[in-house]
């Protein structure tokens, strides 16, 4: 997937989350969402770390 498209999709997903009112989500569903959000956040942090550690040859 092309970088710009991936970032737009990520941004759109975050926008969708931001308009929800968590207090209106049933407790069990909220728990499931929190677990999934933490998994996805860990994946994103891993990709940030992977890109941070990239070094150009000769530098």
pTM of the model: 0.79
Question: Longest Cα pair distance anywhere in the chain, in angstroms?
Answer: 54
DSSP 8-state class, residue 46: H
Q: Using the predicted structure, report yes or no on whether residue 54 has a pLDDT greater than 90.
A: no
pLDDT, tens only, 4-31: 999 999 999 999 999 999 999 999 999 9
Domain boundaries, the chain: 25-59
Q: What is the mean pLDDT of the chain?
A: 93
Whether the Cβ atoms of residue 25 and residue 33 lie closer than 8 Å to each other: yes
Q: How confident is the model at residue 58 (pLDDT cuts 50, 70, 90)?
A: low
Do 30 and 22 form a contact (C-beta atoms < 8 A)? yes
C-alpha distances out from residue 20 to 4, 15, 29, 30, 55, Å: 25, 9, 13, 11, 40
* Average pLDDT score over residue span 41-50: 95
> Would you say residue 56 has pLDDT above 80?
no
């Amino acid at each position: 997937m092309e970088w710009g498209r991936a970032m737009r999709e990520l941004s759109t997903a975050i926008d969708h989350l931001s308009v929800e009112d968590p207090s209106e989500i049933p407790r069990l569903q909220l728990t499931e969402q929190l677990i999934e959000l933490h998994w996805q956040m860990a994946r994103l942090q891993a990709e940030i770390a992977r890109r941070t550690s990239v070094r150009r040859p000769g530098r």
